[in-house]
Amino acid sequence: MECCETKYMENCMICGKPLMYLEKPVLKRCEYCGIEELTLAHCTDGHYVCDKCHAKDGIEVIKDYCLSTDSKDPMEIVENIMSDSRIPMHGPEHHALVPAAIVTAYKNLTGKVSDEDILEAVNRGKEIPGGACGYYGACGAGIGIGVAISVIYKATPLTPLKRTKAHLAVASALKSIGEAGGARCCKKCTRISIEEAVEFFEKELNVKFPTTFERTDDCNYSKRNRECYYMCKYRDVEKSERSVKYGS
């Protein structure tokens, strides 16, 4: 299916207009691959891009970088990858980015995992659907820590301690993401997830990642994120939402 060559890296990839997030799914056709499927999101002009097409270029960036870097700092890895012009402001790419960065840093630090493990982390992470933060109640970046631990320590549903460690790490990340507030921001949630992963690996798994990357308080993505919690009206919207008594 033919489509425009220009890809917008914020909002709709086709036209750059804001996305609409729906309460009930509708059937839409992907503008790139032509697949028809139910979705809870499309742009205000009706364009739809499936998760696979949305993440395609970003996944290749993640693979190429992680398989070639010698960095042992997962924060440095995610920041360098996120700065690539082929990584959108938001999207399911970030769900693969977090576990890939952690497994890559672990491989470079310890030598105990392989390139195949990095690729497995990417493959599992990219299966976490876009919009999971709002529709599943669990940010895909936060879940990515569990993916990384499962890959590194070969966890399965039948390995009690390893499975438990993965759960606890994800719970820690999701708690911090939830407490940070605001509408979705894939960059913020990626950073929080990596910070939580570094702390968890040191306290619970006796693995200390070096923190070579120094990040300032000024976020270079704020102007690209119309819902930035720290820059716009969404702070006031959330304050009013907190007054609602859920479940009453």
Q: Quick check: is 193 in a domain?
A: yes
pLDDT at 99 over 70: yes
Indicate if 72 and 179 belong to the same structural domain: yes
Q: What is the pLDDT of residues 151-208, one digit of tens each?
A: 999 999 999 999 999 999 999 999 999 999 888 899 999 999 999 999 999 999 999 9
Q: Quick check: is 54 in a domain?
A: no
Indicate if 140 and 205 belong to the same structural domain: yes
pLDDT at 232 over 80: no
pLDDT at 246 over 50: no
Indicate if 75 and 39 belong to the same structural domain: no
pLDDT of residue 225: 81
1 — pLDDT class (breaks 50, 70, 90): very low
Indicate if 8 and 118 belong to the same structural domain: no
Indicate if 175 and 122 belong to the same structural domain: yes
pLDDT of residue 143: 98
Tokens found for residue 21: 């997030």
Tokens found for residue 65: 């970088």
Q: Quick check: is 233 in a domain?
A: no
Three-state DSSP class for residue 27: strand
Indicate if 159 and 202 belong to the same structural domain: yes
Taking the alpha carbons at both ends of the chain, their separation in whole angstroms is: 48
Indicate if 106 and 152 belong to the same structural domain: yes
| Domain around 16 | 1-49
pLDDT at 107 over 60: yes
Mean pLDDT, the chain, rounded, equals 91
pLDDT of residue 224: 82
pLDDT at 244 over 90: no
Alpha carbons 233 and 248: distance in angstroms, whole number? 27
**Beta-carbon count within 10 A of 185 CB:** 26
pLDDT of residue 231: 63
Q: What is the pLDDT of residues 45-57, one digit of tens each?
A: 999 999 999 999 9
Q: Quick check: is 79 in a domain?
A: yes
Question: Could you tell me what percent of the chain has a pLDDT over 90?
Answer: 79
Alpha carbons 100 and 6: distance in angstroms, whole number? 27
Whole-model pTM above 0.85? yes
Q: What is the pLDDT of residues 55-81, one digit of tens each?
A: 999 999 999 999 999 999 999 999 999
Indicate if 96 and 134 belong to the same structural domain: yes
| Number of independent structural domains in the chain | 2
Indicate if 16 and 96 belong to the same structural domain: no
Indicate if 45 and 63 belong to the same structural domain: no
Of 26, 61, 63, whose CA–CA distance to 43 is shortest?
Answer: 26
pLDDT of residue 248: 38
Spell out the residues 6+ positions from residue 111 whose beta carbon is closer than 8 angstroms to its own: none
Alpha carbons 121 and 118: distance in angstroms, whole number? 5
Indicate if 41 and 70 belong to the same structural domain: no
Q: What is the pLDDT of residues 109-152, one digit of tens each?
A: 999 999 999 999 999 999 999 999 999 999 999 999 999 999 99
Indicate if 193 and 119 belong to the same structural domain: yes
Q: Quick check: is 225 in a domain?
A: no
Q: Quick check: is 155 in a domain?
A: yes
Q: Quick check: is 14 in a domain?
A: yes
Q: Quick check: is 163 in a domain?
A: yes
